């Protein structure tokens, strides 16, 4: 027993010495406990403020920091472009496993970490997400926008306060439900999570964010769950999707699901791939948009000068537009200040909380002058780049849509730092859809309503579990003076 204990102590001392003093990466700065264990990372995830912790680490330790043994965060644009820009050179780390099935062969695009399999999967479905394709969903967005407006009109009449992010979530889920499955979830009608899908997705992200710190545990935890036949949160969503897949004849021809079935033979899409694409649309394409919209509204309420300038632009463009007709995307994308507000909202609150982690392949790699051996896990977190004063200037932490209206050469540099939709071979497929939806609904609501924060002094509260969700209450009034 004594010898076992002694051997354990020697191994421990060796490990500590290697990690803190003698190992090839011991010089990289970071909290000493983070160099030895994943506990600080887990605590930051569990507190729900990983992104703030990550920003703080860079303020304290510089552009390259160690935030867990073998894991490094870099906050520079050059590192981001190198890490994500070179096609599949740096594959995704096993962190992503934790968001999917423990059997990674059945993974979806987001959780697929094998570069070859990912490229094949992405090629099969990418065309469905092109700007041209998603234009067809404008009528769905308009219909749901008008439903949202009628709920806001009720709030205006009753004076009831409401949590804006909740209603943005109801709206975004109804849109994604209708365009993916051909039928809205009708959260706007119910006004609460009537089928518990929102809760199921929240718990799935919560599980992924925590277990993603220890991805090696996912097969065990996931396997145990399956062996014990325990219900996993995503089961609820899966049941819902399967219901639609099994009744495919009834599904609307213009829906994603119908289009996927039409591509089944041509692109050799399996039943599982169709299921996964529908599932990831619902999980990835709703909370994300609602968070981005909630940011835009909050920032505009906090910055009345920006709100007034946006209003002026929208009112001028809407002079001949019927009051109940949202702008087409073709109209909305031509409004420079609207686009600048959207971009700035996406910059100041980049939706996802963690670095997009990738693995250094054999031969190692150099980032910002530091050599990382094979197997190191490197990530760039959009929050740390977007709040980096060297990239976005001394006002990086403030909402300034005007920064996106500068000289084109300055804008090109600013664009390079924008990581909200990721970068490279794993970047967001839903970006065209998200930009269209945000442009249309934001312009219509700003045109139609006056929003006011209930507590102007108190900042919003945020909490992250991979996605950084917000909470704030506001009141709304129908605008009398709109065009
Ligand atoms: C404001 C809205 C959105 C934001 C900020 C966002 C953000 C992201 C980010 C950061 C990634 C890459 C993650 C990584 O590399 O780790 C991603 C991937 C993805 N997103 Fe989005 N997303 C948004 C909306 C959407 C929508 C509307 C859809 C679909 C309807 C969607 C579908 C996907 C898919 C399928 C992937 C995986 C792509 C791949 O790995 O090839 N997203 N998203």
Choice among 39-48, 240-249, 351-360 with the minimum mean pLDDT: 240-249
Q: How far is the CA of 281 from the centre of ligand 1 (A)?
A: 9
What is the distance in A from the centroid of ligand 1 to the CA of 426? 8
For residue 294, count other CB atoms closer than 10 A to its CB.
Answer: 26
Segment 165-172 shows an average pLDDT of 98
Q: Is the CB of 209 under 6 A from ligand 1?
A: no
Q: CA 431, 433, 436: angle at the middle one, nearest 5?
A: 105
- 230, two tokens: 């325990």
List Cβ neighbours of 447 (8 Å cut-off, separation of 6 or more).
311, 314, 315, 318, 479, 482, 483
Which among 73, 35, 30 is positioned nearest to 51, based on CA atoms? 73
DSSP strands (E only) in 276-329: none
Residue of 224 and 175 predicted with greater confidence: 175
Cα 281 to Cα 109: distance, rounded to the nearest angstrom:
10
Question: Tens of pLDDT along 291-305?
Answer: 999 999 999 999 999
| Rg of the chain over all Cα atoms, to the nearest angstrom | 23
Rounded Cα distance between 336 and 412, Å, is 16
Atom 21 (ligand 1): residue with closest C-alpha? 428
Q: Tell me the C-alpha distance between 69 and 57, whole Å.
A: 15
Q: With a 6 A CB cut-off, is 281 part of the ligand 1 pocket?
A: yes
Helix (H, G, I), strand (E, B) or coil at 230: coil
Residue 251: the pLDDT is: 66
Of all protein residues, the one whose alpha carbon is nearest to atom 35 of ligand 1 is 429
**Considering the chain, what is the average pLDDT of its residues?**
92
On the question of pLDDT at 5 being above 90, the answer is no
Rounded Cα distance between 110 and 432, Å, is: 17
Domains, the chain, with CATH or none: 2-478 (1.10.630.10)
Do 423 and 355 touch, CB atoms closer than 8 A?
Answer: no
State the pLDDT at residue 54: 98
- Ligand 1 lined by 143 (C-beta under 6 Å): no
Res 306: pLDDT: 98
What is the number of the ligand 1 atom nearest to the C-alpha of 122? 41
Centre of ligand 1 to C-alpha 289, Å, is: 10
Contact 448, 437 (CB under 8 A): no
Tell me what pLDDT residue 482 has. 53
- C-beta of 419 in contact with ligand 1 (< 6 A): no
428 is known to lie in a ligand binding site: yes
Q: Does pLDDT of 91 surpass 90?
A: yes
CB 88 within 8 A of CB 119: yes
* CA separation for the pair 328, 347 (Å, rounded): 24
Question: How much is the ipTM here?
Answer: 0.98
What confidence category does residue 249 fall into, taking pLDDT thresholds of 50, 70 and 90? Answer: low
- Which pLDDT score, from 0 to 100, does residue 275 have? 86
Q: Is 467 in the pocket of ligand 1 (CB under 6 A)?
A: no
Report the half-sphere exposure of 38 (CA within 13 A, side-chain side).
13
Token reading at 98: 């934790």
Instruction: Give the N- to C-terminal CA distance of the chain in Å, as an integer.
Output: 83
* Paired strand residues for 473: 163
| Ligand 1 within 6 A of CB of 429 | yes
Do the beta carbons of residue 297 and residue 451 sit within 8 Å?
yes
Per-residue pLDDT at 268 exceeds 60: yes
At residue 104, the pLDDT reads: 62
pLDDT at 346 over 60: yes
For the four alpha carbons of 458, 342, 73 and 67, in that order, the dihedral sign comes to positive
- Reading the block at residue 340, the tokens are 């600048």
347 CB near ligand 1 (under 6 Å): no
Q: How far is CA 420 from CA 221, 353, 477, in A?
A: 31, 10, 32
- The pLDDT of residue 236 is 73
**Residue 451: beta bridge partners?**
476
Nearest ligand 1 atom to alpha carbon 427: 12
**Is 428 near ligand 1, meaning CB less than 6 Å away?**
yes
Closest residue by Cα to residue 378 from 391, 362, 365, 363: 365
Query: Which residue reads 């894991």 in tokens?
Result: 71
Residue to mutate (ligand 1; options 130, 339, 430; most atoms within 8 A of CB): 430
């Amino acid at each position: 027993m004594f010898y076992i204990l002694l051997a354990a102590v020697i191994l421990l001392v060796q490990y500590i010495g290697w990690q803190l003093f003698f190992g090839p990466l011991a010089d990289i700065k970071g909290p000493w406990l983070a160099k030895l264990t994943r506990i600080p990372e887990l605590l930051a995830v569990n507190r729900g403020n990983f992104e703030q912790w990550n920003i703080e680490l860079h303020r304290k330790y510089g552009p390259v920091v160690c935030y867990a043994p073998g894991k490094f965060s870099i906050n520079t644009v050059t590192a981001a472009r190198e890490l994500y820009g070179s096609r599949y050179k740096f594959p995704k780390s096993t962190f992503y496993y934790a968001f999917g099935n423990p059997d990674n062969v059945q993974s979806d695009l987001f959780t697929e970490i094998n570069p070859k399999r990912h490229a094949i999967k992405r090629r099969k479905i990418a065309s469905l997400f092109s700007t041209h394709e998603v234009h067809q969903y404008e009528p769905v967005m308009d219909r749901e926008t008008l439903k949202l407006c009628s709920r806001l009109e009720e709030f205006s009449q009753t004076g009831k306060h409401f949590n804006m992010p909740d209603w943005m979530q109801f709206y975004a889920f109804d849109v994604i439900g209708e365009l993916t499955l051909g039928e809205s979830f009708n959260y706007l009608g119910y006004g609460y999570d009537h089928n518990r899908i929102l809760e199921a997705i929240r718990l799935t992200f919560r599980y992924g964010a925590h277990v993603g710190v220890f991805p090696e545990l996912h097969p065990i935890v996931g396997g145990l769950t399956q062996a014990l036949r325990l219900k996993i949160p995503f089961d609820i969503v899966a049941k819902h999707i399967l219901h639609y897949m099994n009744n495919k004849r009834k599904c609307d021809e213009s829906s994603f699901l119908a289009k996927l079935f039409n591509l089944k033979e041509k692109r050799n899409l399996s039943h599982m791939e169709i299921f996964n694409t529908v599932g990831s649309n619902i999980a990835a394409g709703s909370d994300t948009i609602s968070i981005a919209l909630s940011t835009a509204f909050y920032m505009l309420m906090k910055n009345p000068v920006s709100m007034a300038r946006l209003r002026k632009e929208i009112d001028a463009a809407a002079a001949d537009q019927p009051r109940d007709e949202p702008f087409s995307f073709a109209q909305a994308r031509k409004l420079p200040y609207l686009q600048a507000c959207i971009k700035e909202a996406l910059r100041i609150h980049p939706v996802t909380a963690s670095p997009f982690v990738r693995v250094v392949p054999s031969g190692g790699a150099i980032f910002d002058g530091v050599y990382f051996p094979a197997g190191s896990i490197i990530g760039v977190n959009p929050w740390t780049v977007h709040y980096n004063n060297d990239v976005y200037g001394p006002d990086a932490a403030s909402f300034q849509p005007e920064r996106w209206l500068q000289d084109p050469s300055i804008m090109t540099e600013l664009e390079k730092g924008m990581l909200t939709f990721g970068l490279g071979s794993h970047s967001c497929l839903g970006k065209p859809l998200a930009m269209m939806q945000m442009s249309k609904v934001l312009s219509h609501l700003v045109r139609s309503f006056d929003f006011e924060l209930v507590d102007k002094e108190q900042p919003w509260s945020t909490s992250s579990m991979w996605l950084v969700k917000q909470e704030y209450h506001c009141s709304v009034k129908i605008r009398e003076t709109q065009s």
